[in-house]
Structure 1
Amino acid sequence: MPVPASRPPRRYDLLGAPFDGGSTLGWPGSRYAPARVRQAMEWILQRRENGEVYCLDHAAVHPFPDDLLEDRGDVHVIGHDLEATLASAADAVAGSVRAGRSPILLGGDDSLLYPAARGLAEATDGTVAIVHFDAHLDLLDENEHQGRYSHSSGMRRSCELPNVEVSRSVQVGSRHFNFPSSLRFRESRGLRNIPAAEVHRRGAEAVIADVVEHLSGADRVLLAFDIDTIDPAHAPGAGAHEPGGLTSHQALEAVRSLAPYVDALVLTEVNPLTDVRDQTANLAAYLIAHHVIHGRIAA
């Protein structure tokens, strides 16, 4: 997927969204994630020296200027009003994009996928493709128990946005069982799915190369990463546990490789109430750090 060579080095905004009002299933508690992940980020950021950081994975020193990652605080959350909170998050994402920066929306539950997509889509005249890492499809339309904007509907609502290019979007890491109606929607819209079993079989490197090629033609890319993509053995602090997921190594490799192509990131469903010694919050902090450091210069 070609990225304009003239694009200046990216700068990132971190936007917390301490909200889990869309968690109608699984375990609530992801409202506490932004604070816990920020705390874990401090462990990483203290390794900067003179505007640089040393990446052991590639034996390379990377620029990390003071303004590379700016913490903009939390978006305005209205605890009793799901739709107002989603609108607030979308406005914050759009504002970051219009300011020429790359937003990172840190949830919170996965209803926040939709405002991240909406904010990016509203702030650009071009098309948007979504790379959706999740154990689940999140293509539920509406039902009595969950309504239209729950953590099970974020991708469905995003696919309805007029400039989201569904046929260029792809879901990665799904597994086990889902609604037959979600399959029918996927097939009708040309939404590609790469289950976790395929990632294990082919390897993360080959799958991500395939994803990058699939994105080709879209003007902007949203990376939506639900932490339950990762196997609960590696990420126990999640809203739901689905065995057979990606390893932490596969997840980090995927985020590093995709980072140069991504214009906005939403990371959701870290749940400190089910975490073990901040293992999952720490992994989420590293996902963000690799996204920022390896995505600074466009591919």
Structure 2
Amino acid sequence: MNARPLRPRTDRRFTLLGAPYDGAATLGWPGSRYAPERIRAAMKWILQRREDGQVYCLDHAALHPFPEDLLADAGDVRTVAHDLEATLAGAAEGVRDVLAAGRTPVLLGGDDCLLYPVARGLAETTEGTVAVIHLDAHLDLLDHSEQQGSHSHSSGMRRASELVNVDVAASVQLASRHFNFPSSLAFREKAGLRNIPAAEIHRRGSEAVAADVLAHVAAADAVLLAFDIDCVDPAHAPGAGAHEPGGLTSFQALDLVQRLAAYTDALVLTEVNPLTDLNDQTANLAAYLVAHYVVHGGLAGPGPEGAGARS
């Protein structure tokens, strides 16, 4: 593990991208193609609280900078309903374009196959190594199957791990639970990919786990935060592609994002499913996750205590 101090990314701006695609959701419920629209709608409720370039965060009793250009919406990446490969290429291109413009990408899925192209876009723009912080109920390490192929929502992390400068040993998976493929366990152990299941987060708390995660990913030069909404318990997020009880509470999810945001270089948020949602409850949670990522990960300002080493 790299012992260098982990420093937050400061004075940056964010660009929102949508990827309305769920053609790789071969198992579970389709419908996440409608998520970017619903999350954007929920964001309007949050953004109207900006005043004079600031927003007040009650969680930490602190004012945060929030100028008009802190979060821009660049619309949707190129998606082709019948062409998975073209959609993956379009998402990766969108991420690269945002990074080339000197901004931080926030991509809204869509199903979880989109983890891979965001990792690819970040990896192709980074000279050094990339780590992935992957919050998900599932491992997404499936290599290939007859029913799901090689780029389904069960393979995003596996495909990302194959990118030449993704440092799998510096990456970590959070909030997994219940059952998964034995072959995925074998790959995880061989690759040295760390896993912190939901049960451990419940026992240790999100503050301690966040500090642990930040120490682990410090070995990489850039970090992707990949957030599948099914890492959250369905009691808090019914609008998901699959329901796995025992997940994170909405508080734990928000707290982790607040603590990790300043130390990551891109966010991909996937699997919000408006067709299984209840009164936009999950889209609203997703919007708050994005807002906290931007507020706590953007401009210099106070953050959650104990989030990690700060410069």
TM over 0.5: yes
- Structure 2: state its 5+ residue gaps: 301-309
How far, CA to CA, are the matches of 2:207 and 2:299 in structure 1?
20
Could you say what secondary structure the match of 1:87 adopts?
Answer: helix
1:48 to 47, 50, 57: 50
Aligned residue number for residue 186 of structure 1 = 188
How far, CA to CA, are the matches of 1:205 and 1:126 in structure 2?
28
Could you say what secondary structure the match of 2:72 adopts?
Answer: strand
Displacement of 1:152? 0.3
Alignment of 1:215-234 (within 5 A): 215-234=217-236
Displacement of 1:125? 0.8
How far, CA to CA, are the matches of 1:8 and 1:101 in structure 2?
11
Aligned residue number for residue 304 of structure 2 = none
Displacement of 1:2? 3.4
2:30 to 28, 31, 39: 28
Aligned residue number for residue 5 of structure 2 = 2
Displacement of 1:124? 1.1
Aligned residue number for residue 305 of structure 2 = none
The CA deviation string for residues 5-55 of structure 1, in whole angstroms up to 9 with x for no partner, is 7x6501001000000001000000000000000000000000000110000
Alignment of 1:68-217 (within 5 A): 68-217=70-219
1:240 maps to amino acid = A
1:193 maps to amino acid = N
How far, CA to CA, are the matches of 1:216 and 1:117 in structure 2?
17
Displacement of 1:95? 1.2
2:120 maps to amino acid = R
1:210 maps to amino acid = D
2:153 maps to amino acid = H
How far, CA to CA, are the matches of 1:11 and 1:181 in structure 2?
40
Aligned residue number for residue 270 of structure 1 = 272
2:266 maps to amino acid = A
2:188 maps to amino acid = R
2:77 maps to amino acid = V
Instruction: Report if aligned partners of 2:140, 2:158 keep a CA contact under 8 Å in 1.
Output: yes
- Structure 1: state its 5+ residue gaps: none
2:92 maps to amino acid = A
1:38 to 37, 40, 45: 40
Displacement of 1:3? 4.8
TM-score, normalised to structure 1, is: 0.98
Instruction: Report if aligned partners of 2:6, 2:215 keep a CA contact under 8 Å in 1.
Output: no
Could you say what secondary structure the match of 1:144 adopts?
Answer: coil
Displacement of 1:217? 1.9
Aligned residue number for residue 60 of structure 2 = 58
Instruction: Report if aligned partners of 2:10, 2:297 keep a CA contact under 8 Å in 1.
Output: no
How far, CA to CA, are the matches of 1:43 and 1:4 in structure 2?
32
Percent identity (aligned): 72
Aligned residue number for residue 15 of structure 2 = 13
Instruction: Report if aligned partners of 2:6, 2:214 keep a CA contact under 8 Å in 1.
Output: no
How far, CA to CA, are the matches of 1:67 and 1:297 in structure 2?
11
* Alignment RMSD (CA, Å): 1.1
How far, CA to CA, are the matches of 2:15 and 2:184 in structure 1?
33
2:240 maps to amino acid = A
Which runs of at least 4 in structure 1 moved beyond 3 Å after TM superposition?
1-5
